[in-house]
Amino acid sequence: MEMGRKNLKCLTTIAFICVFVCSFSFHCCHARKTVDYRHWQVHRHHQGSGRSLRLTGSGHVGSEGVVGTSLASKGRATNGGSGNFNVLDFGAKGDGETDDTKAFQSAWESACNVEGSVVEVPSGSEFLVGPISFSGPNCQPNIMFQLDGKIIAPTSPSAWGSGMLQWIEFTKLKGITVKGTGTIDGQGSVWWNDSPTDNPTDKNLDKESSGGELPSTKPTALRFYGSDEVTVSGITIQNSQKAHLKFDSCTAVQVSSLTISSPGDSPNTDGIHLQNSQNVIISNSNIACGDDCISIQTGSSGVYIHNVNCGPGHGISIGGLGRDDTKACVSNVTVRDVKLQNTMNGVRIKTWQGGSGLVQGILFSNIQVTDVQTPIMIDQYYCDGGRCHNGSSAVAISGVNYVNIRGTYTSTPVHFACSDSLPCTGVTLDTIQLEGSSGSNEPFCWKAYGELKTSTVPPVDCLQSGNPFKAQAHDSC
Protein backbone atom coordinates (compact mmCIF):
# COMPACT_ATOMS: atom_id res chain seq x y z
CA MET A 1 0.00 0.00 0.00
CA GLU A 2 2.77 2.40 0.94
CA MET A 3 4.57 1.56 -2.31
CA GLY A 4 1.38 2.33 -4.29
CA ARG A 5 1.05 5.71 -2.65
CA LYS A 6 4.66 6.55 -3.58
CA ASN A 7 4.07 5.55 -7.22
CA LEU A 8 0.93 7.67 -7.39
CA LYS A 9 2.78 10.66 -5.96
CA CYS A 10 5.54 10.18 -8.50
CA LEU A 11 3.09 10.02 -11.41
CA THR A 12 1.33 13.16 -10.17
CA THR A 13 4.65 15.03 -10.07
CA ILE A 14 5.56 13.93 -13.60
CA ALA A 15 2.15 15.01 -14.94
CA PHE A 16 2.53 18.45 -13.33
CA ILE A 17 5.93 18.89 -14.91
CA CYS A 18 4.57 17.96 -18.37
CA VAL A 19 1.70 20.44 -18.08
CA PHE A 20 4.15 23.18 -17.01
CA VAL A 21 6.53 22.49 -19.91
CA CYS A 22 3.71 22.50 -22.48
CA SER A 23 2.29 25.76 -21.14
CA PHE A 24 5.71 27.39 -21.27
CA SER A 25 6.30 26.23 -24.87
CA PHE A 26 2.92 27.54 -26.01
CA HIS A 27 3.58 30.92 -24.37
CA CYS A 28 6.99 31.24 -26.06
CA CYS A 29 5.56 30.31 -29.43
CA HIS A 30 2.74 32.86 -29.09
CA ALA A 31 5.16 35.55 -27.93
CA ARG A 32 7.45 34.98 -30.93
CA LYS A 33 4.53 35.32 -33.32
CA THR A 34 3.61 38.61 -31.69
CA VAL A 35 7.17 39.95 -32.08
CA ASP A 36 7.30 38.97 -35.77
CA TYR A 37 4.00 40.72 -36.42
CA ARG A 38 5.20 43.87 -34.75
CA HIS A 39 8.35 43.82 -36.88
CA TRP A 40 6.19 43.54 -39.99
CA GLN A 41 4.15 46.52 -38.90
CA VAL A 42 7.26 48.67 -38.52
CA HIS A 43 8.64 47.77 -41.93
CA ARG A 44 5.27 48.00 -43.57
CA HIS A 45 5.11 51.58 -42.32
CA HIS A 46 8.37 52.38 -44.11
CA GLN A 47 7.05 50.84 -47.28
CA GLY A 48 5.29 54.07 -48.17
CA SER A 49 8.66 55.82 -48.27
CA GLY A 50 9.83 53.64 -51.12
CA ARG A 51 11.58 50.98 -49.01
CA SER A 52 11.49 47.51 -50.48
CA LEU A 53 10.37 44.46 -48.55
CA ARG A 54 12.48 41.29 -48.49
CA LEU A 55 11.41 37.86 -47.29
CA THR A 56 14.24 35.97 -45.59
CA GLY A 57 14.42 32.19 -45.59
CA SER A 58 13.80 31.98 -41.85
CA GLY A 59 10.78 34.28 -41.94
CA HIS A 60 12.53 36.74 -39.60
CA VAL A 61 13.15 40.41 -40.30
CA GLY A 62 16.05 40.97 -42.70
CA SER A 63 17.97 44.17 -43.38
CA GLU A 64 15.19 45.41 -45.70
CA GLY A 65 12.14 44.20 -43.79
CA VAL A 66 9.98 41.11 -44.01
CA VAL A 67 6.43 40.21 -44.83
CA GLY A 68 4.58 36.92 -45.20
CA THR A 69 4.12 35.49 -48.68
CA SER A 70 0.39 36.13 -48.95
CA LEU A 71 0.69 39.70 -47.64
CA ALA A 72 3.57 40.46 -50.00
CA SER A 73 1.51 39.26 -52.95
CA LYS A 74 -1.36 41.45 -51.88
CA GLY A 75 0.97 44.49 -51.67
CA ARG A 76 2.35 43.88 -55.13
CA ALA A 77 -1.15 43.55 -56.52
CA THR A 78 -2.18 46.97 -55.23
CA ASN A 79 0.84 49.19 -55.75
CA GLY A 80 3.88 47.21 -56.78
CA GLY A 81 4.74 46.21 -53.23
CA SER A 82 6.73 49.36 -52.50
CA GLY A 83 4.62 52.30 -53.59
CA ASN A 84 5.62 51.97 -57.26
CA PHE A 85 3.12 52.87 -59.98
CA ASN A 86 4.18 51.89 -63.51
CA VAL A 87 2.31 53.76 -66.25
CA LEU A 88 2.11 50.53 -68.27
CA ASP A 89 -0.03 49.04 -65.50
CA PHE A 90 -2.50 51.88 -65.98
CA GLY A 91 -3.02 51.28 -69.70
CA ALA A 92 -0.15 53.16 -71.35
CA LYS A 93 0.92 51.60 -74.65
CA GLY A 94 4.32 53.20 -75.08
CA ASP A 95 4.25 52.79 -78.85
CA GLY A 96 4.80 56.46 -79.68
CA GLU A 97 1.46 56.73 -81.48
CA THR A 98 -1.28 55.95 -78.95
CA ASP A 99 -2.27 58.83 -76.66
CA ASP A 100 -1.06 57.79 -73.18
CA THR A 101 -2.14 60.96 -71.37
CA LYS A 102 -4.96 59.33 -69.39
CA ALA A 103 -2.72 56.46 -68.27
CA PHE A 104 -0.14 58.92 -66.94
CA GLN A 105 -2.84 60.86 -65.13
CA SER A 106 -4.25 57.70 -63.55
CA ALA A 107 -0.83 56.55 -62.38
CA TRP A 108 -0.25 59.96 -60.81
CA GLU A 109 -3.60 59.99 -59.03
CA SER A 110 -2.77 56.66 -57.38
CA ALA A 111 0.76 57.71 -56.45
CA CYS A 112 -0.54 61.00 -55.06
CA ASN A 113 -2.12 59.15 -52.13
CA VAL A 114 1.08 57.40 -51.02
CA GLU A 115 3.95 59.21 -49.33
CA GLY A 116 7.28 58.46 -50.97
CA SER A 117 5.65 56.77 -53.95
CA VAL A 118 7.26 56.31 -57.37
CA VAL A 119 5.68 56.89 -60.77
CA GLU A 120 7.62 54.71 -63.21
CA VAL A 121 8.05 55.57 -66.89
CA PRO A 122 10.05 52.54 -68.03
CA SER A 123 12.85 52.45 -70.56
CA GLY A 124 12.39 50.91 -73.97
CA SER A 125 9.08 52.68 -74.63
CA GLU A 126 8.04 55.94 -76.24
CA PHE A 127 4.99 57.60 -74.73
CA LEU A 128 2.87 60.15 -76.57
CA VAL A 129 1.51 62.48 -73.89
CA GLY A 130 -0.56 65.62 -74.35
CA PRO A 131 -0.71 68.65 -72.02
CA ILE A 132 -0.83 67.32 -68.45
CA SER A 133 -0.64 68.65 -64.90
CA PHE A 134 0.59 66.54 -61.98
CA SER A 135 -1.02 68.55 -59.24
CA GLY A 136 -1.06 68.91 -55.49
CA PRO A 137 -1.58 70.39 -52.96
CA ASN A 138 -3.43 67.40 -51.54
CA CYS A 139 -0.79 64.90 -52.63
CA GLN A 140 1.45 63.19 -50.11
CA PRO A 141 5.05 64.48 -49.96
CA ASN A 142 8.24 63.05 -51.46
CA ILE A 143 6.86 61.61 -54.69
CA MET A 144 9.40 60.51 -57.31
CA PHE A 145 8.76 60.60 -61.05
CA GLN A 146 11.21 58.00 -62.36
CA LEU A 147 11.70 58.79 -66.04
CA ASP A 148 13.72 56.19 -67.92
CA GLY A 149 11.66 56.00 -71.10
CA LYS A 150 10.88 58.74 -73.63
CA ILE A 151 7.94 61.14 -73.53
CA ILE A 152 7.05 62.95 -76.76
CA ALA A 153 4.65 65.82 -77.34
CA PRO A 154 1.83 65.72 -79.88
CA THR A 155 2.30 67.89 -82.95
CA SER A 156 -1.29 68.06 -84.19
CA PRO A 157 -3.02 71.44 -83.65
CA SER A 158 -6.08 69.70 -82.18
CA ALA A 159 -4.06 68.57 -79.12
CA TRP A 160 -3.32 72.15 -78.05
CA GLY A 161 -6.62 73.94 -78.44
CA SER A 162 -6.22 77.71 -78.30
CA GLY A 163 -2.79 77.42 -76.70
CA MET A 164 -1.13 76.23 -73.49
CA LEU A 165 1.52 77.91 -71.33
CA GLN A 166 3.11 74.57 -70.44
CA TRP A 167 3.12 71.00 -71.67
CA ILE A 168 4.13 68.99 -68.57
CA GLU A 169 3.58 70.64 -65.21
CA PHE A 170 4.17 69.73 -61.56
CA THR A 171 2.37 72.12 -59.24
CA LYS A 172 2.03 72.78 -55.49
CA LEU A 173 4.00 69.77 -54.30
CA LYS A 174 6.46 69.16 -51.48
CA GLY A 175 9.49 66.99 -52.06
CA ILE A 176 8.95 66.26 -55.77
CA THR A 177 11.75 64.52 -57.66
CA VAL A 178 12.04 63.94 -61.41
CA LYS A 179 15.03 61.77 -62.22
CA GLY A 180 16.25 59.02 -64.49
CA THR A 181 17.94 58.40 -67.82
CA GLY A 182 14.92 59.20 -69.98
CA THR A 183 14.00 62.00 -72.37
CA ILE A 184 11.31 64.65 -72.69
CA ASP A 185 11.02 65.63 -76.36
CA GLY A 186 8.83 68.61 -77.27
CA GLN A 187 9.13 67.94 -81.03
CA GLY A 188 9.35 71.69 -81.31
CA SER A 189 10.38 72.03 -84.95
CA VAL A 190 6.73 72.27 -86.05
CA TRP A 191 6.36 75.24 -83.68
CA TRP A 192 9.57 76.98 -84.78
CA ASN A 193 8.74 76.97 -88.49
CA ASP A 194 6.62 79.73 -89.96
CA SER A 195 4.21 77.07 -91.16
CA PRO A 196 3.54 74.26 -88.68
CA THR A 197 2.69 71.86 -91.51
CA ASP A 198 6.06 72.09 -93.26
CA ASN A 199 7.08 68.77 -91.74
CA PRO A 200 4.82 66.17 -93.46
CA THR A 201 7.06 63.29 -92.42
CA ASP A 202 6.18 63.73 -88.74
CA LYS A 203 4.33 60.52 -87.85
CA ASN A 204 2.38 62.19 -85.04
CA LEU A 205 0.92 64.99 -87.17
CA ASP A 206 -2.84 64.45 -87.31
CA LYS A 207 -3.74 64.20 -91.01
CA GLU A 208 -7.27 65.41 -90.40
CA SER A 209 -5.89 68.51 -88.67
CA SER A 210 -2.93 69.06 -90.97
CA GLY A 211 -4.67 72.01 -92.56
CA GLY A 212 -4.91 73.81 -89.20
CA GLU A 213 -2.35 75.92 -87.45
CA LEU A 214 -0.71 75.51 -84.11
CA PRO A 215 -1.64 78.24 -81.61
CA SER A 216 0.58 81.29 -81.28
CA THR A 217 1.10 80.57 -77.57
CA LYS A 218 3.96 78.10 -77.33
CA PRO A 219 4.24 75.93 -74.21
CA THR A 220 7.16 75.43 -71.86
CA ALA A 221 8.16 71.76 -71.97
CA LEU A 222 8.52 71.11 -68.21
CA ARG A 223 7.37 73.51 -65.50
CA PHE A 224 7.37 73.41 -61.69
CA TYR A 225 5.11 75.85 -59.90
CA GLY A 226 4.61 76.67 -56.23
CA SER A 227 6.61 73.67 -55.01
CA ASP A 228 9.15 73.14 -52.24
CA GLU A 229 12.16 70.79 -52.26
CA VAL A 230 12.26 70.16 -56.01
CA THR A 231 14.90 67.90 -57.57
CA VAL A 232 15.52 67.32 -61.28
CA SER A 233 18.38 65.01 -62.15
CA GLY A 234 19.79 62.94 -64.99
CA ILE A 235 17.09 63.44 -67.62
CA THR A 236 17.31 64.96 -71.10
CA ILE A 237 14.93 67.69 -72.31
CA GLN A 238 15.13 68.39 -76.01
CA ASN A 239 13.48 70.29 -78.84
CA SER A 240 11.14 72.22 -76.60
CA GLN A 241 8.38 74.27 -78.16
CA LYS A 242 9.55 77.26 -76.10
CA ALA A 243 11.49 77.21 -72.79
CA HIS A 244 12.73 73.76 -71.77
CA LEU A 245 12.59 73.87 -67.96
CA LYS A 246 10.95 76.50 -65.77
CA PHE A 247 10.77 76.99 -62.00
CA ASP A 248 8.15 79.50 -60.90
CA SER A 249 7.56 80.33 -57.21
CA CYS A 250 9.60 77.36 -56.00
CA THR A 251 12.02 76.97 -53.10
CA ALA A 252 14.92 74.60 -52.38
CA VAL A 253 15.50 73.58 -56.01
CA GLN A 254 18.30 71.24 -57.08
CA VAL A 255 19.12 70.58 -60.72
CA SER A 256 22.03 68.29 -61.63
CA SER A 257 23.37 66.13 -64.45
CA LEU A 258 20.80 67.56 -66.83
CA THR A 259 21.06 67.66 -70.62
CA ILE A 260 19.13 70.27 -72.59
CA SER A 261 19.41 70.19 -76.35
CA SER A 262 17.84 72.28 -79.10
CA PRO A 263 19.30 73.94 -82.23
CA GLY A 264 20.93 77.33 -81.83
CA ASP A 265 18.39 78.93 -84.17
CA SER A 266 15.29 77.60 -82.36
CA PRO A 267 13.47 80.75 -81.19
CA ASN A 268 12.91 81.55 -77.49
CA THR A 269 13.98 78.10 -76.33
CA ASP A 270 15.56 79.09 -73.01
CA GLY A 271 17.31 76.22 -71.25
CA ILE A 272 16.41 76.85 -67.59
CA HIS A 273 14.16 79.73 -66.53
CA LEU A 274 13.93 80.88 -62.90
CA GLN A 275 11.24 83.21 -61.60
CA ASN A 276 10.22 84.06 -58.03
CA SER A 277 12.32 81.12 -56.82
CA GLN A 278 14.77 80.98 -53.94
CA ASN A 279 17.63 78.71 -52.87
CA VAL A 280 18.37 77.18 -56.25
CA ILE A 281 21.39 75.03 -57.17
CA ILE A 282 22.12 74.16 -60.81
CA SER A 283 25.18 71.99 -61.41
CA ASN A 284 26.99 69.56 -63.72
CA SER A 285 24.71 70.13 -66.70
CA ASN A 286 25.02 70.65 -70.45
CA ILE A 287 22.74 73.18 -72.13
CA ALA A 288 22.41 73.92 -75.85
CA CYS A 289 19.47 76.02 -76.99
CA GLY A 290 18.30 79.01 -79.03
CA ASP A 291 18.05 81.54 -76.19
CA ASP A 292 19.52 82.01 -72.71
CA CYS A 293 21.04 78.82 -71.36
CA ILE A 294 19.92 79.99 -67.92
CA SER A 295 17.59 82.94 -67.41
CA ILE A 296 17.18 84.44 -63.93
CA GLN A 297 14.09 86.60 -63.54
CA THR A 298 12.52 88.77 -60.87
CA GLY A 299 11.95 87.42 -57.38
CA SER A 300 14.91 85.03 -57.56
CA SER A 301 17.56 84.95 -54.85
CA GLY A 302 20.09 82.54 -53.39
CA VAL A 303 20.97 81.08 -56.80
CA TYR A 304 24.16 79.03 -57.18
CA ILE A 305 25.20 77.84 -60.65
CA HIS A 306 28.37 75.84 -61.17
CA ASN A 307 29.97 73.37 -63.56
CA VAL A 308 27.63 74.12 -66.43
CA ASN A 309 28.47 73.98 -70.14
CA CYS A 310 26.52 76.41 -72.33
CA GLY A 311 26.43 76.59 -76.11
CA PRO A 312 24.97 77.30 -78.50
CA GLY A 313 22.71 79.87 -76.89
CA HIS A 314 22.63 83.42 -75.60
CA GLY A 315 24.68 82.78 -72.46
CA ILE A 316 23.70 83.04 -68.79
CA SER A 317 21.50 86.04 -68.08
CA ILE A 318 19.90 87.93 -65.24
CA GLY A 319 16.81 89.51 -66.80
CA GLY A 320 15.37 91.14 -68.77
CA LEU A 321 13.98 92.94 -65.75
CA GLY A 322 11.56 95.84 -65.33
CA ARG A 323 9.57 95.45 -68.52
CA ASP A 324 6.41 97.61 -68.77
CA ASP A 325 7.56 99.77 -65.85
CA THR A 326 7.46 96.90 -63.36
CA LYS A 327 9.51 96.39 -60.22
CA ALA A 328 12.11 93.63 -60.28
CA CYS A 329 14.41 92.25 -57.59
CA VAL A 330 17.25 89.73 -57.95
CA SER A 331 19.95 89.14 -55.32
CA ASN A 332 22.71 86.81 -54.18
CA VAL A 333 23.51 85.02 -57.43
CA THR A 334 26.76 83.10 -57.96
CA VAL A 335 27.83 81.72 -61.34
CA ARG A 336 31.16 79.92 -61.33
CA ASP A 337 33.16 77.21 -63.08
CA VAL A 338 31.15 77.63 -66.27
CA LYS A 339 32.16 77.12 -69.91
CA LEU A 340 30.49 79.00 -72.75
CA GLN A 341 31.19 78.23 -76.40
CA ASN A 342 29.86 79.92 -79.54
CA THR A 343 27.25 81.89 -77.63
CA MET A 344 25.89 85.40 -78.20
CA ASN A 345 26.82 86.53 -74.69
CA GLY A 346 28.78 85.18 -71.79
CA VAL A 347 27.43 86.44 -68.46
CA ARG A 348 24.86 89.22 -68.83
CA ILE A 349 22.55 91.49 -66.83
CA LYS A 350 19.78 93.10 -68.88
CA THR A 351 17.05 95.54 -67.78
CA TRP A 352 14.37 97.57 -69.53
CA GLN A 353 14.12 101.34 -69.23
CA GLY A 354 11.35 102.57 -66.95
CA GLY A 355 11.52 99.74 -64.44
CA SER A 356 12.41 99.86 -60.76
CA GLY A 357 13.92 97.58 -58.14
CA LEU A 358 17.40 96.24 -57.58
CA VAL A 359 20.00 93.72 -58.74
CA GLN A 360 22.72 93.19 -56.15
CA GLY A 361 25.19 90.69 -54.74
CA ILE A 362 26.25 89.07 -58.02
CA LEU A 363 29.44 87.01 -58.55
CA PHE A 364 30.66 85.67 -61.90
CA SER A 365 33.79 83.59 -61.25
CA ASN A 366 36.00 81.17 -63.20
CA ILE A 367 34.24 81.64 -66.53
CA GLN A 368 35.83 80.16 -69.66
CA VAL A 369 34.60 81.59 -72.96
CA THR A 370 35.35 80.37 -76.47
CA ASP A 371 34.32 82.45 -79.51
CA VAL A 372 31.69 84.31 -77.53
CA GLN A 373 30.46 87.58 -79.06
CA THR A 374 30.37 89.60 -75.81
CA PRO A 375 31.66 87.76 -72.72
CA ILE A 376 30.80 90.46 -70.12
CA MET A 377 27.67 92.60 -70.44
CA ILE A 378 25.42 94.92 -68.45
CA ASP A 379 22.68 96.43 -70.60
CA GLN A 380 20.18 98.80 -68.97
CA TYR A 381 18.78 99.75 -72.37
CA TYR A 382 17.59 96.26 -73.25
CA CYS A 383 14.88 96.11 -75.90
CA ASP A 384 13.73 92.80 -77.32
CA GLY A 385 12.53 93.80 -80.77
CA GLY A 386 10.15 96.54 -81.79
CA ARG A 387 10.14 100.09 -80.43
CA CYS A 388 11.02 100.69 -76.78
CA HIS A 389 10.33 103.96 -74.98
CA ASN A 390 12.96 105.90 -73.10
CA GLY A 391 12.59 106.03 -69.34
CA SER A 392 14.36 107.92 -66.59
CA SER A 393 13.77 105.27 -63.93
CA ALA A 394 15.66 101.99 -63.94
CA VAL A 395 16.33 98.78 -62.07
CA ALA A 396 19.38 99.68 -59.97
CA ILE A 397 22.46 97.48 -60.38
CA SER A 398 25.13 97.30 -57.67
CA GLY A 399 27.70 94.92 -56.29
CA VAL A 400 28.57 92.93 -59.42
CA ASN A 401 31.92 91.12 -59.31
CA TYR A 402 33.74 89.53 -62.25
CA VAL A 403 36.63 87.25 -61.27
CA ASN A 404 38.89 85.16 -63.51
CA ILE A 405 37.10 85.37 -66.84
CA ARG A 406 39.24 84.11 -69.70
CA GLY A 407 39.02 83.07 -73.34
CA THR A 408 38.22 84.45 -76.77
CA TYR A 409 35.58 86.83 -78.07
CA THR A 410 34.40 87.87 -81.52
CA SER A 411 32.75 91.27 -80.98
CA THR A 412 33.24 93.23 -77.72
CA PRO A 413 35.00 91.95 -74.58
CA VAL A 414 33.17 94.17 -72.06
CA HIS A 415 29.95 96.13 -72.60
CA PHE A 416 28.62 98.22 -69.71
CA ALA A 417 25.67 100.36 -70.83
CA CYS A 418 24.18 101.76 -67.61
CA SER A 419 21.38 104.19 -66.89
CA ASP A 420 21.92 107.96 -67.04
CA SER A 421 19.70 108.49 -64.01
CA LEU A 422 20.78 105.42 -62.07
CA PRO A 423 24.36 104.39 -62.94
CA CYS A 424 25.78 100.95 -62.15
CA THR A 425 27.84 100.95 -58.96
CA GLY A 426 30.18 98.55 -57.20
CA VAL A 427 31.29 96.82 -60.40
CA THR A 428 34.66 95.08 -59.93
CA LEU A 429 36.93 93.36 -62.45
CA ASP A 430 39.59 90.92 -61.27
CA THR A 431 41.82 88.78 -63.53
CA ILE A 432 40.12 89.38 -66.86
CA GLN A 433 42.01 87.98 -69.86
CA LEU A 434 40.10 88.06 -73.13
CA GLU A 435 41.59 87.77 -76.59
CA GLY A 436 39.63 89.16 -79.52
CA SER A 437 39.43 88.05 -83.12
CA SER A 438 40.49 90.38 -85.91
CA GLY A 439 38.21 93.40 -86.23
CA SER A 440 36.79 93.11 -82.72
CA ASN A 441 35.86 96.16 -80.66
CA GLU A 442 37.36 97.77 -77.60
CA PRO A 443 35.63 97.62 -74.18
CA PHE A 444 32.63 99.95 -73.85
CA CYS A 445 31.41 101.67 -70.66
CA TRP A 446 28.67 104.19 -70.02
CA LYS A 447 27.79 105.40 -66.51
CA ALA A 448 29.51 102.38 -64.95
CA TYR A 449 31.34 102.86 -61.63
CA GLY A 450 33.57 100.43 -59.81
CA GLU A 451 37.12 99.19 -59.47
CA LEU A 452 39.78 97.31 -61.38
CA LYS A 453 41.24 94.85 -58.86
CA THR A 454 43.97 93.84 -61.33
CA SER A 455 45.07 94.91 -64.77
CA THR A 456 42.88 93.49 -67.50
CA VAL A 457 43.42 92.20 -71.03
CA PRO A 458 42.37 94.19 -72.92
CA PRO A 459 42.52 97.26 -70.64
CA VAL A 460 39.11 98.39 -69.39
CA ASP A 461 40.03 102.05 -68.93
CA CYS A 462 36.45 103.22 -69.32
CA LEU A 463 35.24 101.95 -65.91
CA GLN A 464 34.86 105.01 -63.64
CA SER A 465 35.91 105.08 -60.04
CA GLY A 466 33.78 106.31 -57.16
CA ASN A 467 30.15 105.96 -56.22
CA PRO A 468 27.86 108.74 -57.48
CA PHE A 469 25.41 109.98 -54.88
CA LYS A 470 22.37 109.83 -57.14
CA ALA A 471 22.90 106.12 -57.65
CA GLN A 472 21.79 105.55 -54.07
CA ALA A 473 18.27 106.84 -54.74
CA HIS A 474 16.70 103.58 -55.90
CA ASP A 475 13.77 101.51 -54.77
CA SER A 476 14.63 98.90 -52.20
CA CYS A 477 13.52 95.29 -52.52
pLDDT digits (tens, 9 = 90+) for 334-378: 999 999 999 999 999 999 999 999 999 999 999 999 999 999 999
In a domain, residue 203? The reply is: no
Judge if 338 and 445 occupy the same domain.
yes
Nearest by Cα to 89 from 98, 99, 76: 76
Query: Which amino acid is residue 372, in one-letter code?
Result: V
The contacts of residue 326 (CB under 8 Å, 6+ apart) are 298, 355, 356
Higher pLDDT, 2 or 244: 244
Q: Where a domain ends, among 250, 265, 280? A: 265
Judge if 69 and 87 occupy the same domain.
no
Judge if 226 and 243 occupy the same domain.
yes
Q: Where a domain ends, among 30, 55, 81? A: 81
Measured distance CA(317)–CA(296) in Å, rounded: 6
Judge if 179 and 118 occupy the same domain.
yes
Are 214 and 160 within 8 A, CB to CB? yes
In a domain, residue 357? The reply is: yes
Note the pLDDT of residue 472.
Answer: 52
Judge if 441 and 356 occupy the same domain.
yes
In a domain, residue 477? The reply is: yes
Judge if 341 and 463 occupy the same domain.
yes
Q: Give me the mean pLDDT over the 73-83 stretch.
A: 45
Q: Give me the mean pLDDT over the 454-466 stretch.
A: 95
Give the total number of structural domains in the chain. 3
Measured distance CA(467)–CA(379) in Å, rounded: 19
Query: How many residues are given for the chain?
Result: 477
Tell me, yes or no, if 324 is annotated catalytic: no
Judge if 67 and 129 occupy the same domain.
no
In a domain, residue 280? The reply is: no
In a domain, residue 404? The reply is: yes
Say whether 358 sits in a helix, a strand or coil. Answer: strand
The contacts of residue 36 (CB under 8 Å, 6+ apart) are 59, 60, 61, 66
Domain that holds residue 116: 83-156+165-187+218-265
The angle subtended at Cα 376 by Cα 371 and Cα 380, nearest 5°, is: 130
CA distances for 160 relative to 157, 180, 269, angstroms: 6, 27, 18
Burial 321-353 (b: 16+ CB within 10 A, else e): bbbeeeebbbbbbbbbebbbbbbbbbbbbbbbb
Judge if 47 and 95 occupy the same domain.
no
The contacts of residue 388 (CB under 8 Å, 6+ apart) are 352, 353
Are 166 and 219 within 8 A, CB to CB? yes
Model confidence pLDDT, tens digit, residues 131-150 = 999 998 999 999 999 999 99
Say whether 346 sits in a helix, a strand or coil. Answer: strand
Tell me, yes or no, if 43 is annotated catalytic: no
Query: Which amino acid is residue 4, in one-letter code?
Result: G
In a domain, residue 23? The reply is: no
Catalytic residue among 185, 270, 291, 379: 291
Judge if 57 and 88 occupy the same domain.
no
Catalytic residue among 244, 273, 314, 415: 314
Judge if 44 and 140 occupy the same domain.
no
Q: Give me the mean pLDDT over the 260-266 stretch.
A: 98
In a domain, residue 276? The reply is: no
Higher pLDDT, 288 or 14: 288
**Confidence band, pLDDT 50/70/90 cuts, at residue 43:** very low
Judge if 298 and 438 occupy the same domain.
yes
Judge if 398 and 467 occupy the same domain.
yes
In a domain, residue 69? The reply is: yes
Measured distance CA(147)–CA(222) in Å, rounded: 13
CATH number at residue 299: 2.160.20.10
Measured distance CA(70)–CA(128) in Å, rounded: 37
